[in-house]
Amino acid sequence: MTDVRLERTCSSIMKSILRISGLVGAISFVLFFAVQFYAGCCGEVPTSAQWYATSFESLLMSFLGSYWFLGLFLCAWFGILAKLSSNSGWKTLSEKYGIKRLTGDRLQFRAVSGYVGEVRCDGSLKIAVTTQGLYLKVLFLFKFGHKDLFIPWSDITISVEKRGLPPAKAPLFLSRLVGRLLRSNYLRVHLRQFPDQKLILEVPDSLLTHIPSEIMESTAKQLS
């Protein structure tokens, strides 16, 4: 219980620091652009404003060319990936289905689009289908926080849909329009141990033939 409270406290402190840092940075940028805009439109600006603009620009250029910027960018990138892993449910799935090494023979992965939770993946997902189960992984650029997954067919029921892939909160008319124009095969994967987990995957026709027929839910009817 104490560890949980400590973790929440540290998380709250970090969020506060990030908010304050973001606010200070935003104000600094706004003031800089305001001075530049005023100088371009009205001519001379006060000496103090000129000094601020010159100092800010010099400091910014030095920062962008330093290792500090690279370190900050990497930290931000890894933080975003960790957040996406948590929000999408991938982190939870990896605790059950995560694998360190792919074990299937001659696995042919296809880059696909789909939804993991409410996170839309446009071409960043890679899937492979075998007689044993479903393999999932992400492109190397997004690998942090996303372990490779292997989900056996025994834990899955699926349905196949002919549909497009509109944004998650798209208006109904837009969803229908996208569905009519961009019709592809999509697997709606239902995980028995994670019934609330949303998992929708684009699947080429060539991969559908590897899915055991006994786990399909009215496939023939939905593809007709």
Q: How far is CA 222 from CA 112, 198, 216, in A?
A: 21, 19, 10
- Euclidean distance between CA atoms 190 and 155, whole angstroms: 8
pTM for this predicted structure: 0.69
Percent of the chain at pLDDT > 90 equals 2
Q: What is the mean pLDDT of residues 203-219?
A: 67
* Contact present, 125 and 112 (Cβ < 8 Å): yes
The tokens of 70 are what? 């690279």
The tokens of 133 are what? 């189960």
Place of tokens 């592809």: 184
Q: H or E element: which one contains 160?
A: strand 156-163
Instruction: Report the b/e string of 124-161 with b at 16+ CB within 10 A.
Output: bbbbbbbeebbbbbbeeebebbbbbbbbebebbebebb
166 pLDDT higher than 60:
no
**What does the pLDDT read at residue 163?**
58
**What does the pLDDT read at residue 180?**
52
The torsion angle over the Cα atoms of residues 122, 89, 96 and 7, rounded to 10 degrees, is 130
Residue 122's pLDDT band (cuts 50, 70, 90): confident
* Contact present, 91 and 85 (Cβ < 8 Å): yes
Residue 223's pLDDT band (cuts 50, 70, 90): very low
**What does the pLDDT read at residue 51?**
86
Angle in degrees, CA 95, 125, 164, rounded to 5: 120
- 3-class SS at 61? helix
- Which residue type does 25 have? G
pLDDT (tens digit per residue) in 55-100:
888 888 888 888 888 888 888 888 888 888 888 899 999 989 988 7
Of residues 168, 82, 165, 188, the one with CA closest to residue 118: 168
